[in-house]
Amino acid sequence: MEKRKLGNSGLEVSALGLGCMSMSFGYGPAGDKQEMIALIRAAVEQGITFFDTAEIYGPFTNEELVGEALAPFRDQVVIATKFGFDCDSGKPGELNSQPAHIKQVVEASLKRLKTDRIDLLYQHRVDPNVPIEDVAGTVKELIQQGKVKHFGLSEAGAQTIRRAHAVQPVAALQSEYSLWWREPEAEVLPTLEELGIGFVPFSPLGKGFLTGKINEETKFDSTDFRNQVPRFSEENRKANQVLVDLIGRFAEQKKITPAQVALAWLLAQKPWIVPIPGTTKLHRLRENNGSVSVHLAPEDLRELESAASKITVKGARYPESLQKRVGR
């Protein structure tokens, strides 16, 4: 597995990471714990060194899973987790980035992750009630104490990134980015390039849609988050199939899978981009990791971009209540 550096931070990770959320939360019932531990350890064996979790995934159970799975390999891997929600109050959807709360969350995350340091600590969503300078200053203290190695932001806008970076250098921004959500290209990617910050795209396969395994007839489990996502309404899935078909045709030409096209496209955008596809299946893990050895030539990228840019994706990527929390 190739390695990449996240911007100027010196943080080196495998070219693909593993998003662990879906093993516990978000896309239907949690996976069997022993099977998920085996999957995470298989990822280590395949060269993945970058694992993504958060206290809100579960809540709490995903960090426990990741901590147990990676304990035997702790010094070989980079663990990223996140703070920013009020998981202890019984209102896990409410934002809380108060400095005292951040410190409490870090202590609890360290215990669940069975570790003495968090390699990359993200603010999960920007909290309008706490100046970003106070958040960055708190993480700076935690870095000085050795409890945290690097600071990250998730779904933050360009101005917030600049303000945070001035207080404590930001190693990475994690936001959604894929062939069907390209908004970061307008302001965010140029800001990251200018400041030397790495980019970690989540949902690089469009929450599964770009794999070609979901169509208008697909039925999601009642606990699956995609039931609330406008982009995943039956009508919008039908309309958006045109993008999946385009990726599928391209995959056939290259004799690879649609998922590998979508990931290889992202990897080709910048050398400091590290996507974190999630999965609960070993064969999908292998398939995703295969994308690292796919080389898309400049003319391939131009052809794909040109065709994709003529397609208008239908439906918002979040319900309105969650959309308000991104790009601040």
Catalytic residue numbers read 57
Tokens 């003495």 identify what position? 116
Q: Rounded to whole angstroms, how far apart are CA atoms 182 and 291?
A: 20
Q: How many CB atoms lie within 10 A of CB 71?
A: 12
> HSE of 28 in the Cβ direction (CA atoms, 13 Å)?
8
Q: Rounded to whole angstroms, how far apart are CA atoms 306 and 132?
A: 38
Nearest one of 98, 90, 120 to 10, comparing CA atoms: 120
Helices (H), the chain: 33-45, 61-70, 99-112, 132-144, 158-167, 188-195, 234-254, 258-269, 282-290, 298-309, 320-323
The angle formed by the CA atoms of residues 323, 123 and 22, to the nearest 5 degrees, is 70
Is-contact 53 88, C-beta < 8 A?
A: no
**For residue 14, what are the β-bridge partners?**
3
Q: How many CB atoms lie within 10 A of CB 301?
A: 14
Is-contact 118 78, C-beta < 8 A?
A: no
Q: Rounded to whole angstroms, how far apart are CA atoms 270 and 57?
A: 29
